[in-house]
Amino acid sequence: AAGSGEGAAGIIAAGQQAAIGKYLAFSRVQEATADATAAKFLNTAGLSGRGILEFFKKLQSLEYRAGYTNIDPFAQSHPLSGERVATLNETLRASPAWDKPTDPALEDRFRRVRAKLAGFVNDPKRTLNDFPPENQSTYARYARAFAYHRAGYPEKANAEADALVRAFPNDPYFLEVKGQILLESGQPNEAIGPLRQATERSGYQPLIATTFGHALIATEQPANFPEAEKVLRQAVGRDEENPFAWFQLGVVYERKGDRARALLATAERAALTGDLRTASLSARGALAGLPPNTPDWIRAQDLVLLTQNVIDDQRRGRR
């Protein structure tokens, strides 16, 4: 039977099934370990684990609602939600922090994050329904500022951002949204003030600094380019995996006539986005134009070697 075509296909299928089973078992162990680590971190930090259990119970409820009543536990990449609740329940309930209320400052930060995500990710109509104009809370204004901006109502978006800045004049994230709305509404000169403040007050947080650098470049005033270069170099120095920051830095170098460093920035961005051919060619071009043995020259050399190794591996894999 093993010598027949059907037998061979069965053996192959069995081998594939065994491999999948091993992968899923490994994945379940990894996820269970992550759950246990999360519980340990919460208990060590003195934070209640009620939220994690409530989350898994919601997942369990969705499973039942969807009719998944006979799930094969060995065919899942994660432990079943009920198992996760049962495993974590005793550990989390034993913590002295179980009945401890959430720190108000932490809760405030969470609600702000949730409002910002709603404004960014959800359809503007849904956001405005969830946070109607009569809701004058900070969180509602924050969500509406992004929703109005995305929906194409710059005056309303500006009004919400202005209200936030008036109430919290030193908050870098409200200054950021004010500057972002102005920048993306075609007013880069007006955006520079709030974005500079946001960058400074956030301790040069890379994403905010990148937006500030973008605004400086968008003014198309050469006098702003040195500051843009400084800000963007700091941004990529603290977050080198930001393709947009590398793109903006490349624009600055191009405007300044520094072709070699513009190519190096292009190579960095292309490597992050998976465009290995562009990364390799740009790194080679940068290497040819940079002073030997400088940090930028060494980085260009590294990129040439790294990208070429990946390209060679891909070619061998296709043979």
CA-CA distances (angstroms) from residue 138 to 36, 147, 299? 35, 14, 45
Contact present, 116 and 127 (Cβ < 8 Å): no
Say which residues have a Cβ less than 8 Å from residue 162's Cβ, sequence separation at least 6. Answer: 178
DSSP 103: P
Domain membership flag for residue 231: yes
Model pLDDT, residue 12: 47
- pLDDT recorded at residue 31: 85
Residue 116 lies in a domain: yes
Q: Where does the pLDDT of residue 110 fall: very low under 50, low under 70, confident under 90, or very high at 90 and above?
A: very high
pLDDT in tens, 201-226: 999 999 999 999 999 999 999 999 99
For residue 223, count CB atoms less than 10 angstroms from its CB and return exposed for 0-12, middle for 13-18, buried for 19 or more.
exposed
Q: Could you tell me the pLDDT band of residue 319, with boundaries at 50, 70 and 90?
A: low
Residue 63: the pLDDT is: 76
- Name which of 245, 256, 253, 238 is nearest 214 in CA terms: 245
Mean pLDDT of the chain: 89
Residues 149 and 204 in one domain: yes
Which one, of 263, 267, 237, 232, lies nearest residue 249 by Cα? 232
Is residue 151 one of the residues assigned to a domain?
yes
The residue whose two tokens read 């500022």 is: 145
With 0-12 / 13-18 / 19 or more C-beta atoms within 10 angstroms meaning exposed / middle / buried, residue 170 is exposed
- Is the residue at 100 inside a domain? no
Structural domain count, the chain: 3
User: Is the pLDDT score of 90 beyond 70?
Assistant: yes
Residue 143 lies in a domain: yes
Give the model confidence (pLDDT) of 224-260 as tens digits.
Answer: 999 999 999 999 999 999 999 999 999 999 999 999 9
66 pLDDT tier (thresholds 50, 70, 90): low
Same domain, 157 and 177: yes
Q: Tell whether 75 and 170 lie within a shared domain.
A: no
Q: Do 24 and 159 belong together in one domain?
A: no
Report whether 242 contacts 264 (CB < 8 A). no
The residue out of 72, 93, 114 marking a domain boundary is: 93
Beta carbons of 204 and 171 less than 8 angstroms apart: no
237 and 273 part of one domain: no
pLDDT greater than 50 at residue 317: yes
Q: What 3-state class would DSSP assign to 104?
A: helix
The answer to whether residues 22 and 76 belong to one domain is: yes
b/e map 60-86, b = 16+ CB within 10 Å: beeeeeeeeeeeeeeeeebbbbbbbbe
SS3 of the chain: helix, strand, coil, percent, to 5: 80, 0, 20
Same domain, 149 and 182: yes
- At residue 23, the pLDDT reads 75
Average pLDDT over residues 310-316: 78
State whether 215 and 274 are in the same domain. no
Banded pLDDT at 4 (limits 50, 70, 90): low
- Biggest CA-to-CA distance, the chain: 81
Cα separation, 147 vs 26, whole angstroms: 42
Q: Same structural domain for residues 273 and 289?
A: yes
What DSSP line would sit under 212-263, residue for residue?
A: HHHHHHHTT-GGGHHHHHHHHHHHHHH-TT-HHHHHHHHHHHHHHT-HHHHH
Q: What is the pLDDT of residue 313?
A: 77
Q: Looking at the structure, tell me whether residues 57 and 150 fall in a common domain.
A: no
For 201, the domain range is 105-258
Q: What is the pLDDT of residue 68?
A: 62
Examine residue 312 and state whether it is found in any structural domain, yes or no. yes
- 246 and 172 together in one domain: yes
pLDDT at 85: 86
Please state which of the ranges 76-90, 265-279, 284-298 shows the lowest mean pLDDT: 76-90
The two tokens of residue 74 are 């060995």
User: What's at 165, amino acid-wise?
Assistant: V
The predicted-structure confidence for 6-65, as pLDDT tens digits, reads as follows: 555 554 455 566 677 777 777 888 888 888 899 999 999 999 999 888 988 888 888 777
Long-range contacts of 70-73 (CB under 8 A, 24+ apart): none
Query: Which residue among 241, 258, 275 closes a domain?
Result: 258
Answer whether residue 20 is part of any domain: yes
| Domain stop point among 64, 93, 122 | 93
pLDDT at 26: 78
DSSP 101: P
Q: How many CB atoms lie within 10 A of CB 282?
A: 26
On whether residue 99 sits in a domain, the answer given is no
Do 246 and 182 sit in the same domain of this protein?
A: yes
CATH of residue 117's domain is 1.25.40.10
